[in-house]
Amino acid sequence: MRRRSILTAGAMALAMTMSVQVAHAAVIDLTTDGSSGSVNGALFYQFDSIPTGSGVIDSFLRIQGMGVQHGYNTDGTIEYDTMASFTHSIQISDLPTIDIGGTLYREFMLDINQNGEPILSLDELRIALWDTGNLSGYSSIFASPIYDLDAGGDNWIKMDYSLNAGSGHGDIIALIPDAVFTGLESQYVYLYSKFGVNSVADDGFEEWAYGLQSPLIPEPTTITLLGFGALFLPRRKRR
């Protein structure tokens, strides 16, 4: 009897924890130099990725609009605010990996371009896999993404264009756990993103890319020094 009540209390505590997680909504503030944050296992990092020229990165998705804008990469018919130039399919094998704290991640770079309103929100980010690279019509694969920024709550990422202003400067590094990229390396990677809901988009395009030769972010030891360490090291208690 006593044991049963303990189990029930444990189950209730677990249920409460789960409900808190479901209701959890986070704002990852990347508006200071070198700031970072984590959502649903992915790491987001404010970082000046230069150079961003051809031969260094492959830009695979450009989105441009005013206010709210969204789109995804495909070799098929482009939709929404996706720009035809540069947008194309990519495969898992294209994405460089980086080991951080014993966990392997796949790296994406985001280059934002704003003018009158430097603060821009990344409100939705979904990554999905498929066997072919030319899906159109906002395929149902996005209903079963391997990564969803909004899984468990309406999360968003706050970014500041002015930190890395000017052409050729990437702004955000997104590291998605390699473990979610299940299946063959030849599988196609679809990235859907929406900007401007919490802070409006203006001016130039937003562009997703990956490093052609290696990850764009520095070696893990350097990353720790720059700030990722805060995610892995226990905080000191104040006395």
Instruction: Please give the residue ranges that form the binding site for Ca ion (CB under 5 A).
Output: 111, 113-114, 123, 150, 154, 156, 169, 171, 201, 203
Please say which residue, 160 or 171, places its beta carbon nearer to Ca ion.
Answer: 171
Q: For residue 166, what are its two tokens?
A: 């000017």
End-to-end C-alpha distance for the chain, whole angstroms: 42
Please say which residue, 100 or 201, places its beta carbon nearer to Ca ion.
Answer: 201
Shortest distance, position 8 Cβ to Ca ion, whole Å: 35
Shortest distance, position 206 Cβ to Ca ion, whole Å: 5
Please say which residue, 58 or 150, places its beta carbon nearer to Ca ion.
Answer: 150
Q: What share of the chain is helix, strand, coil (3-state, %, to 5)?
A: 20, 35, 45
Shortest distance, position 201 Cβ to Ca ion, whole Å: 5
Please say which residue, 74 or 114, places its beta carbon nearer to Ca ion.
Answer: 114
Name beta bridge partners: 177.
105
Shortest distance, position 47 Cβ to Ca ion, whole Å: 11
Residues 6+ apart with CB under 8 A from 130: 139, 141, 187, 188, 190
Measured between alpha carbons, how far is 201 from 198 in angstroms, rounded to an integer?
Answer: 10
Measured between alpha carbons, how far is 28 from 148 in angstroms, rounded to an integer?
Answer: 15
Amino acid letter for position 239:
R
Please say which residue, 82 or 113, places its beta carbon nearer to Ca ion.
Answer: 113
Nearest to 82 by CA among 72, 67, 96: 72
Shortest distance, position 37 Cβ to Ca ion, whole Å: 14
Measured between alpha carbons, how far is 80 from 219 in angstroms, rounded to an integer?
Answer: 36
Please say which residue, 86 or 130, places its beta carbon nearer to Ca ion.
Answer: 86
Shortest distance, position 59 Cβ to Ca ion, whole Å: 12
